[in-house]
Structure 1
Amino acid sequence: MSKLPEFIIQRSQSLPEGEVLSPREFLSLGSRAAVDQAFSRLAKSGKLMRICRGMYVAPVKSRFGTRAPEPEKVVQALAEKTSETVTSSGARAANNLGLTQQVPVRQVFLTSGRARTLKIGKAEIQIKHAPKWMVAPSAAGEAVRALAWLGETQSEDSIQTLHRRLSESEWSRLMSLRAVLPSWMGAMIGREALHA
């Protein structure tokens, strides 16, 4: 059975940075208990990192030593593996769009799936469940997340800036989302379109 850990390590090293491994992928090579034990031992020895229940990543080796993979890469790989949509938080969206100078200290992502906390090296990443209207993976979706984070009062001050920053096609996409957005947000976008 010593070939099982070797196979897991070879597989982990053949993957791009941040790619997520699950014991389920290796059940054809041994019993569930043997596979779980192999992953547990590899994590204890530092050859793999357990990011959450049943999910592991390989540490990245460089000439400066070993480090945890980039959190964004891990989150994206996890989204692909679970077929969920994962996007930046409203705070990060507002910062990316220039609507706030605040830079989020904690890394928070929004998902269409279940909420979870990932431990990637020393960093703790929050993935929070959000309604479908908040996780659209586009510039218009980023605008929606930014407005939701800013709230109704602050969004009034930022909607003109947001309109200028979005391309015409993304503004049109934002306009088409109004029916599924909170009423205050849909009305605000409509008013801005009339005044533009």
Structure 2
Amino acid sequence: MQRLTEQILSHAKGLPEGTPLAAKSLLHLGSRAAVDQALSRLAERRQLLRAGRGVYLLPVTSRFGTRAPSVEQAVEAIAAQRGEVIVSSGAAAANRLGLTAQVPARSVYLTSGRSRKMRLGKQIVELRHAPRWQLTLAQRPVGEAIRALAWLGPDGAEAALQTLKRKLAPTAFNELVAAAPQLPTWLARSVGKVAHG
């Protein structure tokens, strides 16, 4: 019979890149204590990366050596595994929408789950708990616009909304106007002012 560490590695290699491993998903291979110990041993040997408390990732091996999985793939996999909404931060959204030239220096994502940090190789990814309204329409362009506006705050929202009115497709801007009741008062007021002004 295969040793538990070999069974875990074999299982990990059958998963898509960036899929997190947790002891709970490996209980079919052995007891909780044995699985925890095997995961810890694999991390010490650098055969698995410890991404956070109880979360492990298989490093990606290529002809150039080994590296951590891409941040996007790891974040998507964790969102699917844990049933959380995880999206890019408002700063990243504002940059992508051309509302700021500032490029975020750190990888920060907003989550419906608890705040925590994840280590992917040498990179630290921060997952910050966000209020529900910032996760509204999460994976749509309008959701990105909402996060960008939240990051810009009350002082920068109106000017940014004028830019978004020109940049977004009319249907997307109308979707933003329709989402106004879910937004904080300061943002809903700015959306209404730009939409009907």
Asked whether the two chains share a fold, i.e. TM above 0.5, the reply is yes
CA distance in 1, matches of 2:125, 2:46: 20
CA distance in 2, matches of 1:40, 1:176: 49
The residue that corresponds to 1:143 in the other structure is 145
Deviation of the 1:28 alpha carbon: 2.2
| 4+ residue segments displaced more than 2 Å | none
The residue that corresponds to 1:178 in the other structure is 180
CA distance in 2, matches of 1:159, 1:33: 53
The residue that corresponds to 2:29 in the other structure is 29
Give 2:171's match in structure 1, choosing from 160, 166, 169.
169
The residue that corresponds to 1:155 in the other structure is 157
CA distance in 1, matches of 2:143, 2:92: 12
CA distance in 1, matches of 2:150, 2:178: 17
The residue that corresponds to 1:97 in the other structure is 97
Q: Which runs of 5+ in 2 are unaligned?
A: none
8 A contact 2:4–2:35 mirrored in 1: yes
The residue that corresponds to 2:14 in the other structure is 14
CA-based RMSD: 1.1
**1:88-122 alpha-carbon deviations (Å, 9 max, x no partner):** 00000000100000000001000111111001100
Say yes or no: does 1:56 pair with 2:43.
Answer: no
Instruction: For 1:157, give the aligned amino acid.
Output: A
CA distance in 1, matches of 2:26, 2:15: 15
CA distance in 1, matches of 2:50, 2:124: 12
CA distance in 2, matches of 1:46, 1:4: 16
Deviation of the 1:2 alpha carbon: 5.2
Q: Greater CA deviation, 90-99 or 149-158?
A: 149-158
Instruction: For 1:114, give the aligned amino acid.
Output: R
CA distance in 2, matches of 1:165, 1:7: 51
Instruction: For 1:36, give the aligned amino acid.
Output: D
CA distance in 2, matches of 1:189, 1:33: 54
CA distance in 2, matches of 1:87, 1:22: 22
8 A contact 2:149–2:157 mirrored in 1: yes
Q: Greater CA deviation, 93-102 or 22-31?
A: 22-31
Say yes or no: does 1:194 pair with 2:174.
Answer: no
TM-score of the pair, normalised by structure 2: 0.95
CA distance in 1, matches of 2:175, 2:3: 52
**1:137-180 alpha-carbon deviations (Å, 9 max, x no partner):** 11111111101101111122221111112122221221111111
Pairing of 1:100-139 with structure 2 (within 5 A) = 100-136=100-136, 137=138, 138-139=140-141
Say yes or no: does 1:77 pair with 2:84.
Answer: no
**Quick one: percent identity of the two aligned structures?**
48
Instruction: For 1:34, give the aligned amino acid.
Output: A
Instruction: For 1:12, give the aligned amino acid.
Output: A
CA distance in 2, matches of 1:131, 1:172: 22
| Count of paired positions | 195
SS in 1 for 2:16: coil
Q: Which runs of 5+ in 1 are unaligned?
A: none
